[in-house]
A and B are shown apart, each in its own frame.
Chain A
Amino acid sequence: MPTIADLKKGQKAKVLDISSDFIPLKLLEMGCLPGNDIQLVQNTPFRDPLYLNINDSYVAIRKETAIQIEVEIIS
Chain B
Amino acid sequence: MAKQINVALVGNPNTGKTSVFNQLTGLKQKVGNYPGITVEKKEGISKISRVLKAHIIDLPGTYSLNASSLDESVVIELLLNKNDKDYPDVIVVISDAENLKRNLLLFTQIKDLGIPTILAINMADRMERKGISIDVKGMEERLGTKIALLSARKNTGFDNLKNLIENYKNLSTEPCLNASEIDPDYFEILKKTYPKEDLYKLWLVISQDANFGNLNRNRVQAESNLETKSKSEIKRLQHKETIKRYQFINDTLNKFLVKDLNQATGLRAKLDRLLIHKVWGYVIFAAILFLIFQAIYDWSEYPMDMIDTLFASLSEMANSNLPEGAFTSLIAEGIIPGIGGVVIFIPQIAFLFLFISILEESGYMSRVVFLMDRIMRRFGLSGKSVIPLISGTACAIPAVMAARNIESWKERLITILVVPFTTCSARLPVYLIIIALVIPDERLFGIFNYQGITLMLLYVIGFAAAIGSAWIADKFLKMQSSSYFVVEMPDYKMPMFKNVAYNVIEKTKAFVFGAGKIILAISVILWVLASYGPGDDFNNAEEIVKTEVVDSGETISLDEIETKIASYKLKHSYIGKMGHAIEPVVVPLGYDWKIGIAIISSFVAREVFVGTLATIYSVGSEEEETIKNRMAQEVNPILGGKLFTFASGISLLLFYAFAMQCMSTLAIVKRETGTWKWPLIQFFGMSAFAYIVALIAFQLLK
Residues of A within 8 A of B (CB): 18, 21-22, 24-31, 33-34, 36, 41-42, 44-46, 48-49, 51, 55-62, 64-65
Contact = CB atoms under 8 A, between A and B. Distances in A.
B15 to A, nearest CB: 12
A46 B371 CA distance: 10
Given A29-B63, A41-B272, 12 more contacts: A24-B68, A26-B68, A28-B239, A29-B105, A44-B278, A45-B374, A49-B374, A58-B490, A60-B487, A61-B485, A61-B486, A65-B486
B373 A25 contact: no
Given A49-B370, A49-B383, A51-B489, A29 B484 contact: no
Nearest to B279: A45
A48 B374 contact: yes
B232 A29 contact: no
A31 B242 CA distance: 9
A41 B369 CA distance: 17
B374 to A, nearest CB: 5
14 contacts: A24-B68, A25-B235, A27-B486, A29-B63, A31-B101, A33-B242, A41-B269, A42-B273, A49-B370, A55-B101, A60-B370, A60-B485, A60-B486, A65-B486
Interface in B471-486: 482-486
A56 B488 CA distance: 11
Contacts of B489: 51, 58-60
B102 to A, nearest CB: 5
Contact of A46 (B105, B243, B374, B484): B374
B503 interface: no
Interface of B: 63-64, 66, 68, 98-99, 101-102, 105, 232, 235, 238-239, 242-243, 246, 268-269, 272-273, 276-278, 281, 366, 369-371, 373-374, 383, 407, 482-491
A2 B344 CA distance: 60
B251 to A, nearest CB: 12
Contact of B482 (A18, A22, A36): A22
B483 A62 contact: yes
Nearest to A57: B102
B268 to A, nearest CB: 7
Contacts of A28: 239, 242-243
Contacts of B281: 45
Contacts of A61: 485-487
A44 B66 CA distance: 31
A45 B278 CA distance: 5
A8 B458 CA distance: 42
A58 B242 CA distance: 18
B272 A42 contact: yes
Contacts of B484: 24, 26, 65
A28 B63 CA distance: 10
Contacts of A45: 276-278, 281, 371, 374
Contacts of A46: 278, 374
Contact of B370 (A25, A27, A44, A57): A44
A31 B246 contact: yes
A55 B232 contact: no
Contact of A31 (B102, B268, B272, B276): B102
Given A24-B484, A45-B374, A60-B489, A29 B64 contact: yes
A51 B243 contact: no
A62 to B, nearest CB: 5
A22 B243 CA distance: 17
B101 A29 contact: no
A44 B276 contact: yes
A51 B272 contact: yes
Contacts of B273: 42
A33 B276 CA distance: 27
A24 B486 contact: yes
Nearest to A60: B487
Contacts of A30: 63, 102, 486, 488
Contacts of A49: 370, 373-374, 383, 485, 487
Nearest to A36: B246
A59 B242 contact: no
A51 B490 contact: no
A59 B374 contact: no
Given A33-B243, A51-B489, A62-B483, A26 B63 contact: yes
Nearest to B207: A25
B238 A25 contact: yes
A26 B239 CA distance: 10
A48 B99 CA distance: 24
Nearest to A21: B232
B632 to A, nearest CB: 48
A16 to B, nearest CB: 13
A56 B102 contact: yes
Contacts of B277: 45
Contact of B486 (A18, A26, A36): A26
B305 to A, nearest CB: 43
A37 B369 CA distance: 24
A42 B102 contact: no
Contacts of A29: 63-64, 66, 102, 105, 242
A48 B278 CA distance: 11
A34 B243 contact: yes
A44 B98 CA distance: 24
Contacts of A25: 64, 66, 68, 235, 238-239, 242
Contacts of B64: 25, 29
**Most B-side CB within 10 Å, residue of A22, A27, A29:** A29
A46 to B, nearest CB: 5
Given A25-B239, A44-B276, A51-B489, A62 B246 contact: no
